[in-house]
Structure 1
Amino acid sequence: MSIPPPSGPQPSQDPREPQGPYPAPRPQGAYPPAQFPYGGHPGLAPYGLYGPYGPRPPAAVNGVAIAALVFGVLCFLPAVGLVLGLVASRQIKRRGERGRGMAVAGSALSSLGLALWVVSLATGFAADVWEDVKEGTRGNGVLALRKGDCFDSPGGLEGWTAEADRVPCAREHDGEVFAVVSVPDGSYPGDDTLTDTADERCYGLRDGYVMDRWALPATVDVYYLVPSRESWDFGDREITCVLGNQDAQATLTGSLRRDATTLDSHQVTYLEAARVLNDALDKAPAAEFVEDDLPGHKEWAARMATALAEQTRMLRENQWPADAERPVRDLTAELDEAEGEWAKAAAAGDADTYYEHYDRGWDLVDPDGSVTARKALGLATTPPAYDEETERDPDSGGMRV
């Protein structure tokens, strides 16, 4: 038997038509034409933004890639930019993020910057840039100070400073540069090493700037400016040696320079001869008493005799001005006698014999004996004064305060 269909509209038996309780289809042309945003076409998801669940947001841009591009464009720390670019490329591939172009560009620019750094170091270009920096700061920076410059510093000669205003040496000033020392290239040696180097080199160069020790006030001491870690990284390899007041907050007035630029040829010759003996005097043995180190004292006496022979040779070879000829000749005769006594002290077989000749030799090199010759040559005539008077101990042959 047949079951009659239910009352009401009957579903179509055509399998091509949708089944179920749907509204009846409209006639053809009743729907508005399909709209595809962004200029898409049927069957295409525009710009890949459509998935199985409808529209989705674009992939995030990799932050490391952005950083790599920044480092590459600015060309500082190029090695960092190169590493960031490589890391970003791996992250982008693994996470499906955007920014591959920025990562590649950052790596390329950083590689170029790294190559330029290597070339600049190999060719000395960095050193030239450092010289340009110093020239740019000339007039108000410690980096541009040169031998003979007098300057003021905001904090005097204490602590760290990057400022130094050059001033005429005739007026009050904090310090006077007497030498600039270059130190070897390489990694930063540290503050202690630089200070030790400065202490040794600066004191050794002081007599070259102030040839006449008698003209150097007892209140003057040696200071130095050394590279900081930051300035070292930019190519600073100089130690600046400075003369200043022992009281770092006090000032100096007038230049202390006494060398060939400020003295005449006769004065220079006399002071060069005197330096030969001064150098020998500075090498006295560490042992205070002769009995404690007779061989050491004899060796020193031999150096003294050699220095005196060289000094008298230099004094005799020069043609002195008429006013200075006789005073220098008399001084040379005393130094000849002193040479003989120091030579006998060097040959002494016991301490008593050493003392006998040492005492005579010491009296003959007494500074007061050169005052007349110095006055005739226009040099300082007052022996150096110290805070504590130094005198010879006749019982030991040494020096005591």
Structure 2
Amino acid sequence: MSIVCAIPTVPLILGIVALSQIRKNGEKGRGLAIAAIVIHGMTIAFYAVAIVLGLSGAFDEGPRPQRDTQGQVTAPGSSKVEDIRKGDCFNTDDDLAKTQRGDGTQARLSVRTVPCDQPHEGEAYAVFTLDDGVFPGAEKVVRISEEKCGGTALTGYVGDAAKLPKNLEVFYYYPQASSWIQGDRTVTCFLGSSGGTSTGSARGGS
């Protein structure tokens, strides 16, 4: 039970209760009770570390994307969100409809960067760095992101925004309170579709 029990702390509690009863009644099994406490304590610590690493994206790391001398992606690879460059195309497991909400939704920390001639869900058209300091709050970060991702940032990349396919919308990744503490200050503006993928680049209205 200490190793495989699906309910956290139950074997730990049972081991402590057993020790208490053994002390009172002089029964045998003290070694087994201590073993149960130690083993389950180690099991909880293992799962806690695994969860933290999973949330931090440590298990998402893979080969980095390959780039040519101009910085264009020539072979797919795993990229951290803050490493996405202007012009990069990528796929993500995120629900894109949630990336614009100011409710603290945490985006994944990595994406699958691919050449733009391959099917992709997002294409970064601008990347900005916010000022250092205390986290200004989700609402202010969202407001700044909306301002920076609109206007000339978009038209300077795609040309006439009115000519973009109707399925493409403006999205952005922005720092959360948790990632801000770790030094994340990056706002990544990108075009994407929450309903599927596209092929080819939107740069210059192509």
TM-score with structure 2 setting the length = 0.54
Alignment equivalent of 1:166, drawn from 100, 113, 126:
113
Write the distance in 2 (CA, Å) between the matches of 1:156 and 1:170: 22
Matching residue's letter, 2:89: C
Match of 1:211 in 2: 159
Which secondary structure state, in structure 1, belongs to the residue aligned with residue 184 of structure 2? coil
Per-residue deviation at 1:218?
A: 2.2
Which secondary structure state, in structure 1, belongs to the residue aligned with residue 147 of structure 2? helix
Asked if 1:242 corresponds to 2:194, the answer is: no
Which secondary structure state, in structure 1, belongs to the residue aligned with residue 79 of structure 2? coil
Alignment equivalent of 1:146, drawn from 85, 88, 91:
85
Residues 137 and 192 of structure 1: CA distance in aligned 2, closer, same or farther (over 3 Å): farther
Write the distance in 2 (CA, Å) between the matches of 1:137 and 1:188: 30
Match of 1:224 in 2: 172
Matching residue's letter, 2:125: F
Write the distance in 2 (CA, Å) between the matches of 1:182 and 1:137: 22
Residues 200 and 150 of structure 1: CA distance in aligned 2, closer, same or farther (over 3 Å): same
Per-residue deviation at 1:137?
A: 7.2
Q: Deviations over 1:329-381 (max 9, x none)?
A: xxxxxxxxxxxxxxxxxxxxxxxxxxxxxxxxxxxxxxxxxxxxxxxxxxx8x
Assess if the C-alpha contact under 8 Å between 2:168 and 2:191 holds in 1: yes
Bigger fraction of residues in strand? 2
Which secondary structure state, in structure 1, belongs to the residue aligned with residue 140 of structure 2? helix
Write the distance in 2 (CA, Å) between the matches of 1:211 and 1:140: 27
Match of 1:253 in 2: 199
Write the distance in 1 (CA, Å) between the matches of 2:86 and 2:120: 15
> What count of residue pairs does the alignment treat as equivalent?
123
Write the distance in 1 (CA, Å) between the matches of 2:82 and 2:161: 28
Write the distance in 2 (CA, Å) between the matches of 1:220 and 1:206: 12
Per-residue deviation at 1:157?
A: 1.9
Which secondary structure state, in structure 2, belongs to the residue aligned with residue 218 of structure 1? coil
Which secondary structure state, in structure 2, belongs to the residue aligned with residue 143 of structure 1? helix
Matching residue's letter, 1:225: Y
Q: How does 1:1-400 map to 2 (within 5 A)?
A: 139-159=78-98, 160-204=107-151, 205-245=153-193, 248-258=194-204
Write the distance in 2 (CA, Å) between the matches of 1:155 and 1:188: 23
Bigger fraction of residues in helix? 1
Which secondary structure state, in structure 2, belongs to the residue aligned with residue 199 of structure 1? helix
For the pair shown, which has the larger CA radius of gyration, 1 or 2?
Answer: 1
Assess if the C-alpha contact under 8 Å between 2:154 and 2:161 holds in 1: no
| CA-atom RMSD in angstroms | 2.2
Per-residue deviation at 1:163?
A: 2.1
Write the distance in 1 (CA, Å) between the matches of 2:178 and 2:64: 16
Which secondary structure state, in structure 2, belongs to the residue aligned with residue 243 of structure 1? strand
Write the distance in 1 (CA, Å) between the matches of 2:134 and 2:162: 41
Which secondary structure state, in structure 1, belongs to the residue aligned with residue 150 of structure 2? helix
- 5+ long unaligned stretches in structure 2: 1-62, 66-77, 99-106
Which secondary structure state, in structure 1, belongs to the residue aligned with residue 204 of structure 2? coil
TM-score with structure 1 setting the length = 0.29
Which secondary structure state, in structure 1, belongs to the residue aligned with residue 148 of structure 2? helix
Write the distance in 2 (CA, Å) between the matches of 1:233 and 1:249: 33
Q: Deviations over 1:216-261 (max 9, x none)?
A: 112211000001222211221110001012xx142121100018xx
Assess if the C-alpha contact under 8 Å between 1:157 and 1:175 holds in 2: no
Q: Which has the higher contact order (CA 8 A, sep 6+)?
A: 2
- 5+ long unaligned stretches in structure 1: 1-135, 260-379, 381-401
